[in-house]
Amino acid sequence: MPRRAPLPRLPGWLLMPSLAWLGIFFFIPLLLVLVISFAARGTYGGVEWTFSLANYATLLDPLYLTIFVRSLALALGTTAFCLLLGFPLAYYIARAPLRWQGIWLLLVMIPFWTNFLVRTYAWMFILRTEGLMNTVLMNLGLVASPVEILYTDGAILIGLVYGYLPFMVLPLYAALARLDYSLVEAAWDLYASAWNVFWRVILPLTKPGVIAGCILVFIPSLGAFITPDLLGGARTMMLGNLIQHEYLVVRDWPFGSAISFVLMALVLLGMMVYLEVDRGRGDGRRPSVW
């Protein structure tokens, strides 16, 4: 592989704008949220400046634990489905003639041109009892009565997979496009079955893309808020909705902050475990995959 010359160094002050931006609009608010998470709710909303871990203790209530577990399960399910759907698609695109690759990638990205909220409303029309899906299923005689799917966890899963599939396909495509196809042929020539070609050669060599895709899908699905709100209805809540609920409906900012921090800690913990594991196996040259 050709080695590129390193980029020339830039003077340090060019970093200042981005550091200032991140400091003022990201780091300070985050710190504020952390501080608030140890405070208590005032009688009429607002924040009472005390210090306690009560908010974090409340999270252990089975009511909230259920929401945590459901969010985790839905995010993991979304990631798994995106990977299963995205890998063959990305492989097909990466192996298509160059001109077609551009067209396929464009098709994958076109949904981004429309507002996510609008697209989620469209899913409501598709999934509801008299919706497109049930009309088709019933006309085909596959089901006798409409399937109740809207306002269930299944609907959330469908919406999340739909929404985040491009985030899986793009890094997978990038990894697969770089894969030297003669390695696939070499494995095939060396008696590997199709399964072993995938498992022993394609997957290990595209692992950075797989991991990047999983991270890009898992993190936003864990904190998803529009999709469960519209497709999940009132009965099912995910962490994103819980946070929104605490901040805007209950007006318990300290508890909302505590949930936010636990969510963030969970994601960070997962990342650190992964990086530790990967550093043990990697060649040590790459700082990390993302």
Residues forming contacts to another protein in the complex (CB under 8 A) are 180, 182-183, 185-193, 196, 200-201, 204-205, 283
Give min distance, CB of 284 to another protein, in A: 12
Taking alpha carbons only, the member of 232, 264, 206, 200 closest to residue 29 is 264
Give min distance, CB of 187 to another protein, in A: 7
| Pick 73 or 186: Cβ nearer another protein | 186
Tokens of 259: 């949930």
Judge whether 53 and 255 are in contact, CB under 8 Å. no
| Pick 92 or 188: Cβ nearer another protein | 188
The Cα–Cα gap between 205 and 42 comes to 54
Question: Following DSSP, what letter does each residue of 74-92 receive, concatenated?
Answer: HHHHHHHHHHHHHHHHHHH
- Angle, in degrees to the nearest 10, between helices 153-178 and 62-95: 40
Give min distance, CB of 177 to another protein, in A: 16
Taking alpha carbons only, the member of 242, 269, 220, 215 closest to residue 66 is 242
Give min distance, CB of 201 to another protein, in A: 6
Provide the 3-class DSSP secondary structure of residue 41.
strand
The Cα–Cα gap between 106 and 100 comes to 10
| Pick 17 or 97: Cβ nearer another protein | 97
| Pick 130 or 283: Cβ nearer another protein | 283
Give min distance, CB of 182 to another protein, in A: 4
Give min distance, CB of 207 to another protein, in A: 9
| Pick 157 or 212: Cβ nearer another protein | 212
Tokens of 262: 């636990």
Judge whether 148 and 131 are in contact, CB under 8 Å. no
Tokens of 112: 């981004």
| Pick 114 or 193: Cβ nearer another protein | 193
